[in-house]
Amino acid sequence: MVSRQATVWVNGDLLPVARPHISIRDRGFTLGDGVFETVRVRGERPLNWNRHLARLRSGAAMLDLTLPLEDAGLTSAVFETLRANGLTEAVLRVSVSRGVARQRGLIPDPGAKPVLVIDAQPYSAYPIALYARGMAAITSSIRRNEHSPLSRAKTLSYLDSVLARREAALQEEDEALLLNCAGELACASAANLFLVVAGALVTPDVGSGALPGTVRGLILEDLAPRLGLAFEERPVEPAKLRRATESFLTSSLLGVMPLTQVDGQPVGAGRPGPVTVRLGAAVEAALEETGSLVPSATQPQ
């Protein structure tokens, strides 16, 4: 049950959500200078947490941004936030910004104090009917810049995805696929993209602009080898979608979501395929297991 007054964790303090917490001069607000993670919580356990932590630290290192807490301290803060809000099924947003510089400008101030925010909200599952029919997507006019290091980090600057998803919404479709500057498939607005071609998984590689997603990593590193599924990470031409028998999207909140239509044309048979369904079940089971990978010393007492 959610507490009467929702609270957010900000640099060690639990504060009411309605109270202002961040300076209007914080670089996360003024420049998008920071990183974040969105994490599914099931039974008060953050799923795939170790992969989220690793990506958060990798993105912060790319920005030369020091996280205020070590892994154990951050995990403890997550549990503290969940308990304060009375949540066991939740969506976590862990955000880290550069903080407030002593003077304006683009160059980071080494003396700025990073701001760590943990926000927990009730989780609302995607409709079962959506998984049964699969998502429909458009190919967005927004391009993903595969040459930018930001394509490999989950940064606070997320406007390309916002514009792409808005474009899909205006066409009354569920999602938007982004091509990179070379005209190859990169990802969806908030998910990784997989195709099934001749029984094997094909997914755009990180060099094509694909974000190294946590569920993507789970599939490629653990589940595909375990299930005997061949896979390739490589550049993927849009025409490959017409030759795919199945396609699906992955993210921490979606899990595995069938993608059954792109630009008004069916993918494969236009319905969720057997590989997608099998992987969807495997991911849910594996996420249940990885939720237990939180160090026992940080478990709530």
Q: How confident is the model at residue 301 (pLDDT cuts 50, 70, 90)?
A: very low
175, 202 contact by CB (below 8 A)? no
Which residues does 227 contact at the CB level (< 8 Å), separation at least 6?
Answer: 278, 279, 282
Answer yes or no: is pLDDT of 297 > 50: no
Q: How confident is the model at residue 288 (pLDDT cuts 50, 70, 90)?
A: confident
Answer yes or no: is pLDDT of 177 > 60: yes
pLDDT tens digit sequence for 19-71: 878 899 999 999 999 999 999 999 999 999 999 999 999 999 999 999 999 99
Please tell me whether residue 220 adopts helix, strand or coil conformation.
Answer: helix
Tokens 């304060």 belong to residue: 84
Return the DSSP state at 223: I
Answer yes or no: is pLDDT of 18 > 90: no
Average pLDDT over residues 265-280: 97
Nearest CA-CA partner of 88 in 54, 127, 43, 125: 43
| Position 204, amino acid | P
Provide the mean pLDDT of the chain: 93
| Long-range CB contacts (within 8 A, 24+) of 167-174 | 167/138, 167/140, 167/141, 167/142, 168/137, 168/138, 168/140, 171/138, 173/136, 173/137, 173/138, 174/130, 174/135, 174/136, 174/137
Taking the C-alpha atoms of residue 158 and residue 154, their distance in angstroms, rounded to an integer, is 8
Whole-model pTM: value is 0.93
Report the CATH architecture of 128-288.
Alpha-Beta Barrel (3.20)
Average pLDDT over residues 246-266: 98
Phi, psi dihedral angles at 182 (to 5 degrees): -90, 0
Tokens coding 13: 């303090």
Share of the chain above pLDDT 90, in %: 88
Q: Residue ranges of the domains in the chain?
A: 7-122, 128-288
Q: Is 213 exposed, middle or buried (0-12, 13-18, 19+ CB in 10 A)?
A: buried
Answer yes or no: is pLDDT of 293 > 60: no
Residue 21's pLDDT is what? 82
Residue 290's pLDDT is what? 63
Residue 5's pLDDT is what? 79
> Who has greater pLDDT, 111 or 60?
60
Q: Which of 16-30, 190-204, 213-227, 239-253 has the lowest mean pLDDT?
A: 16-30
* The CATH number fitting domain 7-122, selected from 3.40.50.1100, 1.10.760.10, 3.30.470.10, 3.30.413.10: 3.30.470.10
pLDDT tens digit sequence for 69-81: 999 999 999 999 9
